[in-house]
Amino acid sequence: MATTEDVDEGREAEPDDDSASLTRAIRRAAPHVPAALAALALVHPAARAGARLAWWMDLFTHFYVAAFWASAAAVVGLALRRRPALALAFAALAGFQAVPLLRYAGPSPVPPAPPPAARLRVLMANLHVENDHYAAIAALIRRERPDVVGFVEVLPHLLAGLESTGVDREYPYRYILPVGAQGQALWFRRRPEAVDEPAILVPDGNPAFRATVLLDGLPVRLWLVHPPNPIGPGHRRADPDLKALGLAVGAEDGPRLVVGDLNRTEGSPHFADFLADSGLRDSRLGFGRQPSWPAGSPYRIAIDHAFLSAGLAVVDRRLGPSIGSDHLPLILDFAASATAPPAPVPTSPTKSEAQPSRSSGGPAPSAENLARSAARR
């Protein structure tokens, strides 16, 4: 007959049995870990190769930071398993994947003109359709005092909420298209030279606002964009929209700025196509990766962007605090580049100057008129 002491000894032995089982399981799995890490490391290059063929493969291209660490772990695992040739191959892959991590380090490639040259501050934010943190958005605007505010994912309730804070009165020139996830708004502290009708570049594409502002007398074309989400069926609209956007921006002359939520990172080949088609450069060069989405996650990717043409320089670029959206806002200071020639003095009105401003010193145009204009395109 078992005594109480025997039962207690059996109970104390159970944790030891569990520990021994776990140890045996780890020993059985250990030889397979390097192979698993190597397979994981190959996901990213395979996705890059197939990104133009399948939208779901393009999604994996955005996680190149995780891909680098997977390749580095594979190198260590293969070296420990005494597979030097494979370890060397994955070390080369890790080196290739490290290039994008270092691309935005170092100094800015184009220095700005020194003061007293004028600066243009732009605040761009994807507000998110369900956001109701109106006070936080208004506080950020008042603290940063941007010259231009660009919003995407603009709905009527967001505009009404911001109006309740009074911050909209600080921007008397407002151009608004509140049509849900495709909605946009451009606010100007000073009258812009011109604001064009919202452009829809492909059938079922998202609208893009285009305006002309002055920077030290230099007319600068400003685009506010938000191409469709490329996930699932949306990729049928997203890829052609982004391609058309790059070509349209590239077809314009003179200094250009493009800001917005691109729904792409630099890991995607479609991002590289946009840079090549538009002839612009990434504003993050010299300022770090600045991943902006999702705002509450410890691992974020950069899908909110700003791009600029030759003749312009980035003075500062940073992410703002959370404002209730799943995106962090962008705050950017631009200037003419140190090597840019002085702006010519116009002797006659240009085509864009001949267009009357939609604000005309009075109220902003109605959302209904802009929405109808966008629908007609």
102 token code pair: 């270092």
Give the model's pLDDT for residue 306. 98
Give the model's pLDDT for residue 37. 79
Of 191, 181, 226, give the one whose Cα is nearest residue 211.
191
Give the model's pLDDT for residue 311. 93
Give the model's pLDDT for residue 127. 96
The segments of the chain whose pLDDT lies below 50 read: 7, 10, 13, 345-377
Q: Structural domains in the chain?
A: 20-102 (no CATH), 120-376 (3.60.10.10)
226 token code pair: 């938000």
d(CA 153, CA 177): 10
The Cβ of residue 275 has, within 10 Å, a number of other Cβ atoms equal to: 15
Give me the amino acid identity at 174.
R
CA torsion sign for 318, 320, 321, 323 is: negative
Give the model's pLDDT for residue 1. 53
Of 340, 332, 331, give the one whose Cα is nearest residue 113.
340
Cβ burial of 175 (10 Å; 0-12, 13-18, 19+) is: buried
Give the model's pLDDT for residue 96. 87
Give the model's pLDDT for residue 365. 41
Give the model's pLDDT for residue 81. 81
| pLDDT tens per residue, range 277-289 | 999 999 999 999 9
- Buried b or exposed e, range 131-154, using 16+ CB within 10 angstroms: bebbebbbebbeebebbbbbbbbb
Of 95, 59, 34, 75, give the one whose Cα is nearest residue 265.
59
Cβ burial of 316 (10 Å; 0-12, 13-18, 19+) is: middle
